[in-house]
Structure 1
Amino acid sequence: MKKIKVILVDDHAVVRAGFKMLLATYDQIEVVAEAERGEEAMQLYKTRQPDIMVMDISMPGIGGLEAIRRICARDSDARILVFSVHNEQVFINQAIKAGAKGFISKNSAADILIDAIQHIFNGGTYIEEALSQSMTEENNTVPVDHQMIIDTLSSREFDIFILLAKGKTAHKISAELCLSYKTIANYSTQIKKKLNVQTVAELTHIALLSGMVNH
């Protein structure tokens, strides 16, 4: 039987090693490459043509969401499974909007990861059941208009929104995302305008209400 070729993308080598060992216990799956940044993932996708790419979304550089968007723009058949410490609905929405075929938590049991990979490989989509239930049961305290606006943010806008809400300065975000200070400042102004707020503190408040960042 043909093995499912997988590329693992996470900026932490220890995390990649753990998931690689886990997947190695399953004969039908083969990890053919690893990447620690979105840029590297894009290049590896092009050269290695994996069946599935298992990708984190919180990484330096262009980040996971933007990498997913760019890969899927080039290949509409790309099959990408997000595995993340974030389990809030907004992150799932952004990942699926970018083109991901599935979303699971990094805290998932081993069999969930295997099941998700198989399901997506066979042409389906996969949202971890526990996450689906929390999305349904979630008592969302973010005003509906803010929630709708957050869902319409581009992948890059969303990444910068989260970093601003975590208290990072435009200079730090510029260095982390490898973008100019002016670009970050422009995005910041654009995001505030969309959410109809004046300050980063107001952005942070919205992010806190939705569970995107912690107190």
Structure 2
Amino acid sequence: MLEPTRLLLVDDHAVVREGYRRLLETRAELRIVGEAATARDALDAFRRLAPDVLVLDLGLPDMGGVELIRRLLQREPGARILVFTMHREPLFATQALRAGAQGYVTKSSPPEVLVQAVLQVAAGRPFISPDLAPELALALVDRPRAPLADLAPREFEILRLLLEGLDPEEIGRRLSLSAKTVRNCHYQIKSKLGVRSDIELTRLAMAHGLV
């Protein structure tokens, strides 16, 4: 008999975690081995538990999910990560997949889609939820490339925190960076996007669904 696929759930809302824990545990081939509410707890839990698949929400209270994906794969290159999030914008999916996630499912998907996605990612196959796949394909192929899509995952994460109104010191604490590094990255982001001020930066982010 095959061993069940071991899952680690990462979401900062306990009620949400409980909901999809119950869903996933209805399948005999799946077993929840741990939960985490923050990125730092997730890194520690992954090291201790070595799950087969990490099911991850992008909206975490310390560092964001995209940065967590990047750091986790630096430590564990073979980690299999499925993003399960409310964000339907192709930009978030693009950044998560570029950082190394193998799957991306929106929380508006039917429950069976999450189960299917977990099984596919556990088997080493990529998975994009059907409600997002056509839009993501258009964003990647048929439309002009969005400027924000050119940002590296860490730049994207810093921009997201800047747009939340955090100062460089707080962003540095969350991402374990110096405030100087954050300020330099802030300048590089504006330069890469071709904007001269934070007002222009915010307008660009709003136009592409990041705000």
Would you say same fold, with TM above 0.5? yes
How far has the Cα of 1:117 moved from its partner?
0.5
Aligned partner of 2:174: which letter?
Answer: L
154-163 or 96-105, which deviates more: 154-163
Matched with 1:125 is: 126
How far has the Cα of 1:119 moved from its partner?
0.7
How far has the Cα of 1:127 moved from its partner?
0.6
Pick closer, same or farther for the CA change 1:112–1:136 going to 2, 3 Å.
same
Matched with 2:174 is: 177
Whole-Å Cα distance in 2 between the matches of residues 4 and 20 of structure 1? 13
Matched with 1:100 is: 101
Residues 53 and 122, structure 2, Cα contact 8 Å, conserved in 1: yes
188-197 or 4-13, which deviates more: 188-197
How many residue pairs get matched?
208
State the superposition RMSD in angstroms. Answer: 2.4
Matched, 1:31 2:32: yes
Matched, 1:163 2:164: no
Residues 54 and 80, structure 2, Cα contact 8 Å, conserved in 1: yes
79-88 or 18-27, which deviates more: 18-27
Percent of pairs with identical residues: 37
The SS at the match of 1:150 is helix
Residues 162 and 207, structure 1, Cα contact 8 Å, conserved in 2: no
Whole-Å Cα distance in 2 between the matches of residues 106 and 157 of structure 1? 25
Whole-Å Cα distance in 2 between the matches of residues 176 and 108 of structure 1? 34
The SS at the match of 2:132 is helix
**Structure 1 residues 177-207: Cα deviation after superposition (integer angstroms, max 9, x where no partner):** 2655444333222211211212122111111
How far has the Cα of 1:165 moved from its partner?
3.2
Pick closer, same or farther for the CA change 1:127–1:200 going to 2, 3 Å.
same
Residues 168 and 183, structure 2, Cα contact 8 Å, conserved in 1: no
Residues 56 and 83, structure 1, Cα contact 8 Å, conserved in 2: yes
Counterparts in 2 of 1:1-215, with a 5 A limit? 1-137=2-138, 144=145, 147=146, 149-166=147-164, 168-170=165-167, 173-174=170-171, 177=174, 180-213=178-211
Residues 173 and 184, structure 1, Cα contact 8 Å, conserved in 2: no
The SS at the match of 1:129 is coil
Structure 2 length-normalised TM: 0.88
Q: Specify every segment of 5 or more residues in structure 2 that has no aligned partner in the other structure, as ranges.
A: none
How far has the Cα of 1:162 moved from its partner?
2.1
Q: Specify every segment of 5 or more residues in structure 1 that has no aligned partner in the other structure, as ranges.
A: none
183-192 or 47-56, which deviates more: 183-192
Residues 105 and 128, structure 1, Cα contact 8 Å, conserved in 2: yes
Pick closer, same or farther for the CA change 1:90–1:173 going to 2, 3 Å.
farther
The SS at the match of 1:27 is coil
Whole-Å Cα distance in 1 between the matches of residues 157 and 205 of structure 2? 12
Pick closer, same or farther for the CA change 1:35–1:78 going to 2, 3 Å.
same
How far has the Cα of 1:44 moved from its partner?
1.3
Whole-Å Cα distance in 2 between the matches of residues 133 and 109 of structure 1? 17
Residues 55 and 82, structure 2, Cα contact 8 Å, conserved in 1: yes
How far has the Cα of 1:74 moved from its partner?
2.4
